[in-house]
Structure 1
Amino acid sequence: MPVTDDIAACRHCADRFAATASGHRPRPVVWFRPGARILIASQAPGMRAHLSGKPFDDPSGVRLRDWMGVDGDTFWDRDNVAVVPMGFCFPGYDAKGGDIPPPKVCAAKWRIAALDHAGDPPVTLLIGGYAQDWHLGRGRVTDRVRDWRALAPRTWCLPHPSWRNTAWLKKHPWFEAETLPALRAAIADTLA
């Protein structure tokens, strides 16, 4: 059985998710296959992605697709984009309504096999601190995003596209002015 089927069938965190404020069941969002041109290494699906079964099917995804310069059809075409998050399931909300971090057990159990299955796409987007730390070792998101030229055009460190990062975006106008045009050009070249 391919790793995608194994991940889709995983219920390892059922008790953990049942104990969250959201009290939900596992529903791995598996969105990758060999041959995709872009790999998105991200954090974990949100509630909307959990419900729809499509990664970044929420306002964060709208912002991410804008950053990439692609439409939804292009983004959700698995020949174009593979999404391999640190946690394949929505981790849930805490008692205050905040997102719970992806359980480390998911990356330990599935990440290497998932990345091996996805292959080696020409462009990788490392979104947020959890994915960046896993791929690059400990570091600061802002420093990595600012130093995009060190890894581009193959690897791009991005902040999470959540609305919670709107203040970060306003504080760092260079991201929109310098990083995003270069990212969009790299994505366009890769998909051409």
Structure 2
Amino acid sequence: MTLTQDIETCRLCAERFAATATQHSPRPVVWFRPSARILIAGQAPGARVHESGRPFTDASGERLRAWLGLDEATFYDRDRIAIVPMGFCFPGYDAKGSDIPPPALCRDTWHDKVMAELTGLDLILPVGLHAIRYHTGHKGSLTEAVMNWRADAPRLTPLPHPSWRNTAWLRKNPWFEAELLPDLRARIQTLL
């Protein structure tokens, strides 16, 4: 079996997911090929992605594609862009209806193996604090990590999660859309 097949058949979190408010089964969303030059390292699939089996098939995906200046066909071209979350499955909701963070077990089991296969990466885009901490070692806040984006550019650029929940963050940090995104879009176009 290939690494992709191993991840697609993973059931390590079956009991954990069955105990959530959503009581769902694992459905790993695997979207990468070793030829990819750009990595989008997300958090974990949401409920809609769990249903579709395709990453970022929700409003967050629309916003992310707009941020990156990519159409759907390019965004979903696995030979060029890998989408590797910190947790491959939808973690579920807690009793209050809030998202459960991606289980560390998934990251610890699979992420280093995936990164070992993605040897041709020219750009890594950690999306959200879980991914930022894994890929950068950053211990501070999301704002600090994203604000210091130039420190790791052009190889790595941390991004906030494109969720509607971060709309207030975007308003408070206009430099993100005015400075970071134009630079990032230009680098992506050069790579592709």
The interval holding the TM-score normalised by the smaller chain is over 0.9
Amino acid at match of 2:151: A
Structure 2 counterparts to residues 37-56 of structure 1, below 5 A: 37-56=37-56
CA distance in 1, matches of 2:30, 2:185: 25
Aligned to 1:31: 31
Within-5 A mapping of 1:55-66: 55-66=55-66
Q: CA RMSD in A?
A: 0.8
Name the residue aligned to 1:126: 126
Cα distance between partner residues in 2 of 1:82 and 1:119 = 12
Partner of 1:13: 13
The question of 1:140 aligning with 2:155 is answered no
Residue 67 (structure 2) aligns with = 67
Q: CA-to-partner distance for each residue in 1:136-186, whole Å, 9 max, x for gaps?
A: 222221111111111111100000110100000001011011111001001
Aligned residue number for residue 155 of structure 1:
156
Question: What is the distance in 1 between the residues matched to 2:142 and 2:42?
Answer: 13
The equivalent of 2:165 in structure 1 is 164
Which secondary structure state, in structure 1, belongs to the residue aligned with residue 31 of structure 2? coil
Query: Equivalent residue for 2:111?
Result: 111
Q: Does the CA-based 8 Å contact 1:45-1:56 persist in structure 2?
A: yes
Partner of 1:95: 95
Alignment length (residue pairs): 191
Q: Structure 2 CA distance, aligned partners of 1:168 and 1:159?
A: 9
Identity of aligned residues (%): 61
Runs of 4+ in 1 over 4 A off after TM superposition: none
Unaligned runs of 5+ in 2: none
User: How far does residue 59 in structure 1 lie from its aligned partner after superposition?
Assistant: 0.5
1:84 offset after TM fit, Å? 1.2
Cα deviation, residue 54, structure 1:
0.6
Residue-by-residue CA offset, 1:30-78 (whole Å, 9 max, x unaligned): 0011111210111101111111111111100000000000011110110
**Do the aligned partners of 1:34 and 1:117 also contact (CA within 8 Å) in 2?**
yes
3-state SS of 2:158 partner: strand
Unaligned regions of 5+ residues in structure 1, if any? none
Matched residues in 1 for 2:35 and 2:172: separation? 37
CA–CA distance in structure 2, aligned partners of residues 50 and 83 of structure 1: 14
Using structure 1 for the length normalisation, give the TM-score.
0.97
